[in-house]
Structure 1
Amino acid sequence: MKLLLVRHPQPLVTPGVCYGSTNLAIAPGQLEQTLAALKLPAGLSIYSSPLRRCAELAARLGDNIIYDARLAEMHFGDWEMQPWDAIPRADIDAWAADTVHYHPGGGESVLQMAERIAAFYSELNGDAIIICHAGTIRLLAARHAGLAPAEMALQAAQTAHQIPYGSTLTL
């Protein structure tokens, strides 16, 4: 199975803000820039996170998009839309001490996200384009490599992402 994972265009958000599953618009000009750079094959199923920054890109790629909430970025609870430097250091340290099971801001743990990504992956039945988020891409790549959810979560949590907005990763 060949998967083309596309990270959404840059969202309209102040740098240094935790935005996870917040439904943000795309920054001006970024949708067009991403579309101009994409080289995707025709005829593949297209799946997308329903969050606006993904859905707007997906809608420009085809008509029969399958929007799946399991592809959304991690929900950071009370941390959503807070500057990272305003989140209490003790909370960040608690997350760093248990990156797999900790619920940042009372939201979702990385393990919970990995479980929903694994469930999505198990239902795929052929080559596809998936419009999603950096966290989702890291977890899908781990699942594609054969890791179970706990291993996916650990790998994703321990690996800093370097996935540019609008980029494509082929698995």
Structure 2
Amino acid sequence: MKLILVRHPQPLVAPGFCYGSTDLAIAPGQLEQTLAALQLPAGLPIYSSPLRRCAELAARLTPTPHYDSRLVEMHFGAWEMQPWDSIPRADIDAWAADMVHYHPGGGESVLQMAERISAFYRDVQRQHAQAIIICHAGAMRLLSACHAGLPPAAMGLQAAQAAHQIAYGATLTLNPV
């Protein structure tokens, strides 16, 4: 299966905040900037996280996007919309010590997110040879690990250890293996 992953445009949030699954609007001008830069093949099914920062882009690309809640970014519990600097260092260290199983802010673990991303991937794989997926950086890293054939725990570990620099509006193409 060939997947074209697209990260959402820059959201309207101050730098340095943990926002995971918080449903944020797109920053002014960013949707148009992303649309102008994208070069996507026509006629492919488009799947999207239902969060506004993804859904608004998907709706501009096709009149019939498939919204799937399994593509939502990780839920950080009490850390959502908190400045990273205000989260106790001991909590950050506990997450760093067990990136796959720890529940940051009492929210979702990377393993839980990997399991839902894996289920999404299997469903899309059964239905399509190619698809475009509008999602979040975490989902992109997990989809890439899943595409490489890793089981959820290994997906989570690889995604957690991957560089976090996926630009807003960036695309990543996963070719058939």
- Structure 1 vs Structure 2: percent identity of aligned residues? 81
- TM-fit CA distance, 1:160: 2.2
Matching residue of 1:164: 167
Matching residue of 1:48: 48
Query: Residues 77-129 of structure 1: CA distance to partner in whole angstroms, max 9, x if unpaired?
Result: 00000000000000000000000000000000000000000000000122000
Pair 1:121 & 2:124 matched: no
Q: Equivalent of 2:149, from 128, 146, 150?
A: 146
Q: Which secondary structure does the structure 2 equivalent of 1:121 belong to? A: helix
Instruction: Give the AA of the match of 1:72.
Output: V
- TM-fit CA distance, 1:166: 0.3
- TM-fit CA distance, 1:53: 0.1
Matching residue of 1:3: 3
Provide the aligned length of Structure 1 versus Structure 2: 171
Whole-Å Cα distance in 1 between the matches of residues 157 and 39 of structure 2? 31
Whole-Å Cα distance in 2 between the matches of residues 104 and 149 of structure 1? 18
Whole-Å Cα distance in 1 between the matches of residues 138 and 112 of structure 2? 12
Matching residue of 2:138: 135
Matching residue of 2:75: 75
Could you tell me which runs of 5 or more consecutive residues in structure 1 were left unpaired when the two chains were aligned.
none
Pair 1:13 & 2:13 matched: yes
Could you tell me which runs of 5 or more consecutive residues in structure 2 were left unpaired when the two chains were aligned.
none
CA-based RMSD = 0.5
Matching residue of 1:24: 24
Query: Residues 125-148 of structure 1: CA distance to partner in whole angstroms, max 9, x if unpaired?
Result: 220000000000000000000000
Whole-Å Cα distance in 2 between the matches of residues 140 and 32 of structure 1? 26
Instruction: Give the AA of the match of 2:136.
Output: H
Whole-Å Cα distance in 1 between the matches of residues 14 and 84 of structure 2? 11
Whole-Å Cα distance in 2 between the matches of residues 158 and 39 of structure 1? 29
Whole-Å Cα distance in 2 between the matches of residues 74 and 165 of structure 1? 17
- TM-fit CA distance, 1:161: 1.6
Moved more, 154-163 or 49-58: 154-163
Pair 1:94 & 2:97 matched: no
- TM-fit CA distance, 1:159: 1.4
- TM-fit CA distance, 1:158: 1.2
